[in-house]
Amino acid sequence: MSTATALPRVAILDDYQKVAFTFADWSVLKGKVSIDVFTDTISDEDALVKRLEPYNIICAMRERTKFRASLLDRLPNLKFIATTGRKNAGIDVAHAKSKGIPVSGTDGGGNSTLEHIWALILSAARHIATEHAGVRGSRQLWQTTIPIGLQGKTLGLVGVGGLGKKTAQIAQVFGMKVIGWSPNLTPGRAEAAGVGFAKTKAELFQTSDIVSIHMVLSESTHHLITAEDLAHLKPTAIFINTSRGPLVDEDALVEVLSKKKIAAAGLDVFDLEPLPLDHPLRDVDNVTLSPHMGYVSDDNYKVFWSQTVENILAFLEGAPKRVIEA
């Protein structure tokens, strides 16, 4: 067996933009591993097994590829998973641990998601995508939309954790009123976060001019936002989701947008990603779409990829670091 084939094999997954080698120095791994990079996402488990079966180390970019127990059981050569971020709901960490497969994460850098939340809010409120397309497309009419002013409006936060608090602080700079609701939010916690307390989810949806979702996806929060909730929104309301697609009944959201029951939406996350080419959201004209890039920035990528290299090296040296506990 040659030296090259004897080296541990590393698979870098879902590197859509081909930047893994741009944002980190991988030279410390030269001669220690062989590396292959994949730029596409595969969701079919059989196809994933065929691709990943030879690899000892897998680098996962966030939750683009899901590592459920059934997949882990079919990868006999897998010894280590390096994922980006402090946690990864797409990996069954407990099952990996039971199989002796450590999972190491990374820190993050900057305020990428916070910035993206406000990019979507402002784009939706000011119809940036529509007007950009019109100007670039040589539309005869110079202006076709009337932006929605933010001052004096109410921002409703579904979830008032660290990111929700920062979102509220920026809203207040714009002169907005901010209210919050979540299954576990109390009046005291709302007050400590500097936001008003909505007693019920219905109250938040009925009174907010903009609703932004800031929740972690779990079994209990799947479809937390229902068709009934969306029906409570004002006809002038804007709906923002940068958290996870399955938090929302996507079919119901498509319906309220296509029937113009709300003014607009800004979406960065979807039930299935990448978003299928024939998905109805691609044909709705009052939604601003981005390809789950809330966490994507040069700052984040520098930290993600450099610490991924560190994590692989630490594993090879027998002392995994930044290990995620189940």
Q: Looking at the annotation, which residues are catalytic?
A: 244, 273, 292
The angle, 0 to 180 degrees and rounded to 10, between the axes of the packed helices 162-173 and 112-125 is 50
Asked if residue 209 lies in contact with residue 232, where contact means CB atoms within 8 angstroms, the answer is: no
CA separation (Å) from 84 to 135, 151, 186, 273, 309?
A: 38, 37, 32, 17, 11
Q: How far apart are CA 293 and CA 110, in angstroms?
A: 14
Q: Are strands 196-197 and 210-213 parallel, antiparallel or unpaired?
A: unpaired
Nearest to 225 by CA among 241, 249, 245: 249
Tokens matching residue 42: 């595969």
CA 124, chain centre distance (Å): 19
Buried b (16+ CB within 10 A) or exposed e, 208-217: bbbbbbbbeb
Q: How far apart are CA 183 and CA 194, in angstroms?
A: 18
